[in-house]
Structure 1
Amino acid sequence: MNRIILYITLICTSFPMCAQNNSKTQQKMKFNQLTPEEERVIVYKATEMPYTGEYINNKEEGTYVCKRCNTPLYRSSDKFDSHCGWPSFDDEIKGAVKRIPDADGQRTEIVCANCGAHLGHVFLNEGFTPKQTRHCVNSISLKFIPAKSESELKKAYFASGCFWGTEYFFMKAPGVVKTTVGFMGGHVDHPTYEQVCKKNTGHFETTEVIYDPEKTSYENLLKLFFETHDFTQTNGQGPDIGPQYRSCIFYSSPDEKQLAEKYIQILNDKGYVVATMLKPASTFWKAEDYHQQYYEHKGNTPYCHKYTRIF
């Protein structure tokens, strides 16, 4: 009987200690909250669709950290373009990435060494870089920390017909660190592509251009804008007819407006009848992921945009 009482006493006194230890463990293992899609990749080791990730074409200088625990994983200087559909790196920050045999028995999985978040897979001896290493990483597993703060970079907004073609030229321009396509100038919040195509939301297909003012200028971007589309067309661009395809510069400051007016006057003096509108920048609504860097993913070129030197 005494043994039974002693046993029960030991069990009862142990529970609070165990509960406390479990609480401490959970506190230590507390990570960033994930969306269902992030959890699908990071926790359950799924793969995001190729050419849909946010960081495939990111050229900005900075550091890529783990989406779940914020551990620094990769430097932008080790990123390269492998045309595989996912961000590629030929090196990791020392000790940040762990390699483990994949469940398929053939590939090598890479995970965050700190929290075990699934990143992707590593491949060797493919010849892409002298390091002979390719970390093929899901964008959704990463978060990018730019070396320059947002206050040091600038944004510009241009509409010149189908945003696929507009973005195609801006994303390749020197000094441009990121481009995003979306909608601006309308009266509907969070518009979808399907809604805008109905021609009654007031939006223009617009490209957001984030650039480094130490490497390029708004004036250079204006020149590229006019040199890559037909700014004399009033009802659209090329075969794309509709109000969402009209030419427009959305200015964010009096200086931008003044520069835009200057170049419109230069074009008028050259004999062009400029149809480009000037409007103050308003809320920019990002378009669906499949529109981003469209031609880069498809591997072809725009059908209604081309470069023609004017200035």
Structure 2
Amino acid sequence: MPYNDLNAEEIRVIENRGTEMPFSGKFSSFYENGVYTCRKCNAPLFNSNDKFDSGSGWPSFDDAIAGAVKEVPDADGRRVEIVCANCDGHLGHVFKGEQMTPKSTRHCVNSISLGFQSNNENSKYKKAYFAAGCFWGVEYWFQKQEGVISADSGYMGGYTENPTYQDICYRDTGHLETVEVTYDPKIVSFERLTKLFFETHNPEQTNGQGPDIGSQYLSAIFTNDIEEEDIAQKLINQLEDRGMNIATMFKNANAHKFYIAEHEHQNYYKLRNSKPYCHSFIKRF
């Protein structure tokens, strides 16, 4: 496999095992959704869902893509270097036992060693949008579903541009707490995702979800096309045939912009190694 041409600074870090200055790299405070790749050979290394703010000044990940990163103990035995398993390009070091995340692992990586492929630019992935109460719990369940590339908390359905969490809680923005699900349709279908949506919240509640009361917590599916709406309606019909009174709304995803929530609202339960207080799984299909 041909390698990318590297400039002098990239050679110093990637090939000669140097280190960039903390807080200087472009990925230090970068939190878009996608896959981080090796700058030298383009091999996928880390998923954005595994990135967290360690305060160190370098991009930090509590996990790597399986088989993508090799650990090499330093000669002095004090630290463990991490390199790309495909090309042996230097990435940084790995630290364990710090208890910053439930996995207690920190892959501390030089930004200059990385490239990035956005999920939005990957045509093989699709997006679905679900509102089912507090987005922390909704995100939790979709992250567990095989075939889901990322599940990101945000705001959708209202009329306020660039809303904040404070706006959602204390102002009339019209937005619902919504999770954007990026998924691989070859692995998981929209129907399976919608079943999971109905099985992890109470779709009959009309004033919120669980103890969270308010219009921002209502149940809704933002459909991208008539096919998705037909699938969701078929599932609602099945539930109502069993005696349920479904309150879930349909909204047009193409008529509403999704605004991603602040960084502190992403991966909420994953980073705390805990479970949602108002979202539990109930088999309905």
Q: Which residue of 246, 249, 252 corresponds with 2:224?
A: 252
What's the CA shift string for 1:87-138, capped at 9, x where partnerless?
44487679xx999899xx95467799xxxxx9542359xxxxxxxxx87135
Distance in 1 (CA, whole Å) between partners of 2:186 and 2:212 is 35
Q: Which residue of 235, 250, 268 corresponds with 1:263?
A: 235
1:71 aligns with 2:40: yes
CA 1:303 to 1:76, structure 2 compared with 1: closer, same or farther past 3 Å?
A: same
Q: Which residue of 210, 217, 222 corresponds with 2:182?
A: 210
- Letter of the structure 2 residue corresponding to residue 298 of structure 1: R
- Letter of the structure 2 residue corresponding to residue 256 of structure 1: E
Distance in 2 (CA, whole Å) between partners of 1:98 and 1:45 is 22
CA 1:99 to 1:47, structure 2 compared with 1: closer, same or farther past 3 Å?
A: farther
Map 1:162-201 onto structure 2 (within 5 A).
162-201=134-173
Structure label with greater radius of gyration:
1
What's the CA shift string for 1:212-268, capped at 9, x where partnerless?
111110000010000000000011000001111000000011101111111111111
Distance in 2 (CA, whole Å) between partners of 1:168 and 1:192 is 21
- Which runs of no fewer than 5 residues in structure 1 stay unpaired? 1-27, 32-41, 113-117, 125-133
- Which runs of no fewer than 5 residues in structure 2 stay unpaired? 1-6, 11-18, 55-59, 85-89, 97-104
CA 1:156 to 1:188, structure 2 compared with 1: closer, same or farther past 3 Å?
A: same
The aligned counterpart of 1:38 is none
Q: Which residue of 224, 234, 242 corresponds with 2:196?
A: 224
The aligned counterpart of 2:261 is 287
CA 1:101 to 1:294, structure 2 compared with 1: closer, same or farther past 3 Å?
A: farther
- Letter of the structure 2 residue corresponding to residue 156 of structure 1: A
What's the CA shift string for 1:52-86, capped at 9, x where partnerless?
9748xx8x8x6613xxxx4347534999x8x9972
1:44 aligns with 2:21: yes
Q: Check the 8 A contact 1:53/1:138 in 2, yes or no.
A: no
Distance in 1 (CA, whole Å) between partners of 2:47 and 2:262 is 28
The aligned counterpart of 1:86 is 61
Aligned length: 245
- Letter of the structure 2 residue corresponding to residue 45 of structure 1: P
The aligned counterpart of 1:296 is 270
Distance in 1 (CA, whole Å) between partners of 2:269 and 2:275 is 6
CA 1:271 to 1:139, structure 2 compared with 1: closer, same or farther past 3 Å?
A: farther
What's the CA shift string for 1:144-168, capped at 9, x where partnerless?
3379962211100000000000010
The aligned counterpart of 2:108 is 137
Q: Check the 8 A contact 1:53/1:139 in 2, yes or no.
A: no
CA 1:174 to 1:98, structure 2 compared with 1: closer, same or farther past 3 Å?
A: closer
Q: Shift of residue 189 of structure 1?
A: 1.2
> Larger helix proportion, structure 1 or 2?
1
Q: Check the 8 A contact 1:63/1:147 in 2, yes or no.
A: no
Q: Quick check: 146-155 or 190-199, which moved more? A: 146-155
- Percent pairwise identity: 42
Distance in 2 (CA, whole Å) between partners of 1:153 and 1:175 is 10
TM-score by length of 2: 0.71
SS at match of 1:151: coil
What's the CA shift string for 1:256-284, capped at 9, x where partnerless?
11111111111111111111000001211
Q: Check the 8 A contact 2:92/2:110 in 1, yes or no.
A: no
SS at match of 1:229: coil
TM-score by length of 1: 0.65
The aligned counterpart of 2:101 is none
CA 1:261 to 1:78, structure 2 compared with 1: closer, same or farther past 3 Å?
A: closer
Q: Quick check: 170-179 or 70-79, which moved more? A: 70-79
CA 1:179 to 1:107, structure 2 compared with 1: closer, same or farther past 3 Å?
A: same
Distance in 1 (CA, whole Å) between partners of 2:225 and 2:262 is 28
